[in-house]
Structure 1
Amino acid sequence: MNTPTRVAVITGASQGIGAGLVQAYRKLGYGVVANSRHIGQSDDPMVHTVAGDISQPGVGQRVIDAAMQQFGRVDTVVNNAGIFIAKPFTEYTDADYDAITGVNMRGFFEVTRSALAVMHAGGHIVNISTSFVDQANSKVPSALASLTKGGLNAATKALAVEYADRGIRANAVALGVISTPMHDPASHEALAALNPMERLGDVDDAVEAVVYLEQAGFVTGEILHVDGGQSAGR
């Protein structure tokens, strides 16, 4: 189906921030291709779901191929899928490394590479990162998150420069701790203390930041911190 409607591809779209992004882009009038490992069909004909683990070779290309087949275009990619495992560095296992780099880096690489091959002027890449890249905390040791998400921050700026002459922007949102089902409510008080505002972010805080970047046509290469001041220090 070819349509003039703009189309957003969102990974990690089955719950939390990803699910919020699907709703937000639909409100903007976009068609959406929503991906996660386990995602069911949508009742909305303008939301096409593609189940698959983007850490696996070929899945990212399959997601973009599905977008082209369903809608005939890709205008925005939000690389939202991510894995965050906090533990002392020497306790990370090979399986941890494979899982984190697979989703955070290979998933980004294949989806974004495939999308940029078909994206036209006005396109937009948004990468979801973390403020722990800028402000490490001994209470939350997470070197592999910094390795992968720090790489995404650098790649964001590189893509912004490389694709500016094609009219394609690239930005990132570096999040603090957001209240999602992945966090045990018993940990909320301790997690809130990581930033000077002393509260967790809401899904809407993250979604609104992405929507801002989507509509900010003169912003590219930006790492937008949405973290209650966490990256500024204590």
Structure 2
Amino acid sequence: MKTLTAIITGGSTGIGRAIAALFLKKGYNVVINSANEQNLIATFNELGPHQQLAMVAGDISKASTGKLLVETAIERFGSVDVLVNNAGIFASKPFLEVDEAHLDQFLNINLKGTFFTSQAAITQMLKQDGGAIINIGTVLVDHAIGGFPATAPISSKGGIHALTKQLAAEFGKKNIRVNGIAPGIIRSPLQEKNGISDADALAGLHLLNRIGETHDVAELALYLAESNFVTGEFINLDGGHMAGHHIG
């Protein structure tokens, strides 16, 4: 039986690292990427086994990085069966303070990164028997929160949600499945980067009254990679955040 190969962008920390670790555990070959080469090398050394693991440092907003990821997967492992577009940035800033440079950061890394890396992967998947793409969005696309202004990153993530459905439609007949995961609050380094020192304080946003863990996202990514009859879906992984809210 053929060993499948997965590319995971933003794979050196947080959700991406958890996805990479689970896919390796399940026997996949894995190519991980990060713009932070130091973090990437540390994760590469920690994860192993290195006969199943490759790394590509680079800025995902550049189309050349996506192409290099695919080339590396082919050279090392012979195929591209799964792409997880996890690399992304998020930051809060009031709408009226957003300038073009601030907006472009999110459009370039989040949306263009997902767009052009998917383009490179699909080019290869069309030569194979198909493949699976999993995009990481956010519940905030469909459930806005007053008091947390983040129009720039949410606009870019909204583009990813729309892109997911369009790609599923365009390439479904070629057996390429495209889905997305919309996480709620997940315990990861992203929270600290956004000045949230105690992510558990946000548990009340979820009906389960707790935040998610990176392994929760990894398990859903694995399911979507292996399910042969799910495409065009964006699944909320949010402890009930989208379903409703508590009073008091």
Give the shorter-chain TM-score range. Answer: over 0.9
Question: Would you say how many aligned residue pairs link Structure 1 and Structure 2?
Answer: 232
Q: Give the deviation of 1:112 after TM superposition.
A: 0.5
1:28 corresponds in structure 2 to 26
Instruction: Give me the whole-angstrom Cα distance separating, in 1, the residues matched to 2:203 and 2:236.
Output: 16
Query: Is the 2:33–2:56 contact (alpha carbons within 8 Å) kept by the matching residues of 1?
Result: yes
2:131 corresponds in structure 1 to 123
Compare 175-184 and 129-138 and name the one that shifted more: 175-184
Instruction: Give me the whole-angstrom Cα distance separating, in 2, the residues matched to 1:213 and 1:56.
Output: 26
1:230 corresponds in structure 2 to 241
1:109-156 alpha-carbon deviations (Å, 9 max, x no partner): 111100100112240000001000010001222212221111111111
2:7 corresponds in structure 1 to 9
Q: Give the deviation of 1:189 after TM superposition.
A: 4.0
Answering whether residue 118 of structure 2 is matched by residue 112 of structure 1, we say yes
Q: How does 1:1-234 map to 2 (within 5 A)?
A: 4-37=2-35, 38=37, 39-40=40-41, 41-42=44-45, 43=48, 44-119=50-125, 120-184=128-192, 186-234=197-245
Per the alignment, in what secondary structure is the counterpart of residue 87 of structure 1?
Answer: coil
Instruction: Give me the whole-angstrom Cα distance separating, in 2, the residues matched to 1:90 and 1:57.
Output: 30
1:156-214 alpha-carbon deviations (Å, 9 max, x no partner): 11111111111110000001010012223633244222222221111111111111212
Instruction: Give me the whole-angstrom Cα distance separating, in 1, the residues matched to 2:230 and 2:97.
Output: 39
Query: Is the 1:135–1:233 contact (alpha carbons within 8 Å) kept by the matching residues of 2?
Result: no
Q: Which runs of 5+ in 1 are unaligned?
A: none
Per the alignment, in what secondary structure is the counterpart of residue 171 of structure 1?
Answer: strand
Q: Give the deviation of 1:102 after TM superposition.
A: 1.3
Per the alignment, in what secondary structure is the counterpart of residue 101 of structure 2?
Answer: helix
Q: Give the deviation of 1:226 after TM superposition.
A: 0.2
* Matching residue's letter, 1:168: I
Query: Is the 2:9–2:34 contact (alpha carbons within 8 Å) kept by the matching residues of 1?
Result: yes
Query: Is the 2:63–2:117 contact (alpha carbons within 8 Å) kept by the matching residues of 1?
Result: no
Q: TM-score, normalised by structure 1?
A: 0.93
Q: Give the deviation of 1:70 after TM superposition.
A: 1.4
Q: Give the deviation of 1:88 after TM superposition.
A: 1.2
Instruction: Give me the whole-angstrom Cα distance separating, in 1, the residues matched to 2:154 and 2:243.
Output: 17
Per the alignment, in what secondary structure is the counterpart of residue 159 of structure 1?
Answer: helix
Instruction: Give me the whole-angstrom Cα distance separating, in 2, the residues matched to 1:74 and 1:196.
Output: 37
Per the alignment, in what secondary structure is the counterpart of residue 83 of structure 1?
Answer: coil
Instruction: Give me the whole-angstrom Cα distance separating, in 2, the residues matched to 1:182 and 1:116.
Output: 29
**% identity of equivalent residues:** 40
Q: TM-score, normalised by structure 2?
A: 0.88
Q: Tell me: CA distance 1:189–1:4, structure 2 relative to 1, closer, same or farther (3 Å).
A: closer
Query: Is the 1:34–1:50 contact (alpha carbons within 8 Å) kept by the matching residues of 2?
Result: yes
Query: Is the 2:103–2:153 contact (alpha carbons within 8 Å) kept by the matching residues of 1?
Result: no
Per the alignment, in what secondary structure is the counterpart of residue 182 of structure 1?
Answer: helix
Q: Which has the higher helix share?
A: 2
Q: Which runs of 5+ in 2 are unaligned?
A: none
Per the alignment, in what secondary structure is the counterpart of residue 35 of structure 1?
Answer: strand
* Matching residue's letter, 2:197: A
